[in-house]
Structures are given as structure tokens and as C-alpha cells.
Structure 1
Amino acid sequence: MKVLDLKCSHEHRFEGWFASTEEFESQLSRKLIACPVCSTTDVSRMPSAPRLNLSSARGEAAPQPAQPAAAPKAAALQARALQFMRELIEKTENVGERFAEEARRIHYNEAPARNIRGVTTPEDAHALLEEGIDVMPLPVPDALKEPLQ
């Protein structure tokens, strides 16, 4: 199993596990690898040095590779953003293409009050705002639209 360090064109960094380097290249060429944060398939492999645990056989501690100072902060921020999105998805009802209609029904007390999410056009979102119905666009990464494995 090969564990590769990857990044997308938006500088989101993540790991990918592949049976071989050839399998990674195959999936990359078919656009099957997507960023778990923004869902772009414009992904590249980060340079990494192979790590051999030879010193552990002699009882010595293996040196850890140095990481850029910003990497832990960026990773923590990405993790918080994904956690927020997961919680938002868990606590809202997906009404899909009926979002504008359902938001109006809730606003005018024609349907039970609840937190909803869905899809609407920019024009419909603007019309909802003009009616005094609070809406907020929130792009959900494709990785979070399906159950995580």
C-alpha cells in the first residue's frame, strides 16, 4: 500500500492510499481523485522522501521529517471546516430543488419550522432575501454529500 501526500490547485493538502504508484497515476488520469475539502479533481502529488525505519531495528529513534510551520495550522483549519460542514448536514433537512418553495412555506407558517438546506438559483435566493427570508449560500464539498466510508 502506497500512502501519498497530495494537494489540490487550491492548496488543500491530504493523503491518498493506493495499491501502487501506477494505480495512483491511473486514477489521476481518469479524474477519480478529488480533494475532500473542495472536490476539485485538479490534484497533484507532493514531493516526499521515502522513509525507511532502519534505525528502529537498532533501538534508535527515527528522525521525523520537518514540516512547514503553516502546515499544522492549515490542516487544523481544514479539519474544523469539515467538522462544521458535517454538523450542518446532520442538523438540517435536505429539501433539494424545492428549497425556495419550502423556505417560503416555513416563513409563512404553512410548514413546520425546521432547518433546511437545498439548491436554488441566484435569482430565487435574491427574491427570498427581498421577502425577508434569510438564506445563505454554502457550497458543500461532494465528499460530504455522500456517507463517509
Structure 2
Amino acid sequence: MDIRPLTPTYAVSPQIETSDLPAIKAAGFVAVINNRPDAEIPPNLHSSTMRSAAEAAGLAFFANPVIGGMLTMENVTEQAAAIQAAGGPVLAYCASGNRCSMVWALAHAGQIATDDLINIPARHGYQLEALRNQLNALAKSG
């Protein structure tokens, strides 16, 4: 498990396992967001399995599948809603953490400076510079 904090209340990670969930809870997280579609992972990591294990560990679980290269505004609004509903620290995961970083940045356009939305994930190797124009446009519209 490789937890990469973007803020004090939002961290991203590459794929986690059900066996990681007790440690995630012990680390202070209250919720987990799965940003991977079931179609790209084996059945033992599907959302239904992960949800059961997360809830058994005392964590809220949200599934918001982001298809690589096909991120939608619905994904962005669902991520923002999950973060808000969690009411505490959230760990979001996907294959590498990149999609989790992208939906976080887009969900916070206009609330956090665009440079920070790009630079914070960059500290963990996530390159979001290509989203700059979209982040700026969302900041202006929202």
C-alpha cells in the first residue's frame, strides 16, 4: 500500500487489497473511493467485494469508476459528493493514483489555485499540467 497525501483529508493510492483496509482505517481514514471500473480488475478487487470489506473494517465506501481517457464531469461531481459525504479523511485509489488526482483537482477548481491543483499531485509523480486550461475554465464558471 502506497498512500500519497494530497491534502490532510484526501490521499490517493495505487490499487489496494481487502487486506489493506484495516490499516487504512487505523491510519485515520473514514472512507475509501474506488476510481477503477470493475472491467479492468480481477473479481477479487471488484467494487462489491471491496465495499463489503471496507464496511466490515468500519470505512465508508464509494465507487466512482473513471474509465482511463474518458473522465466525465459526472465523475468529478460524484468524487466531490463522496468527499463531502465522507465527513473526514478519504483515501481514493485507482491503478496508479493518477485518475484519483485528476478528479480531485477538477472537483476543486476555483476553490484551490490552479497552480496548487497541478503542483500538489506533481509531488507524487502525477502530471496534471494538461488539465490547466480545463481547471481555469471550471474556476471561472464556478
The TM tier, using the shorter chain, reads under 0.3
The two structures have a TM-score, normalised by structure 2, of: 0.26
Structure number with the higher helix fraction is 2
TM-score, L = length of structure 1: 0.25
Which of structures 1 and 2 has the larger relative contact order (alpha carbons within 8 angstroms, sep 6+)? Answer: 2
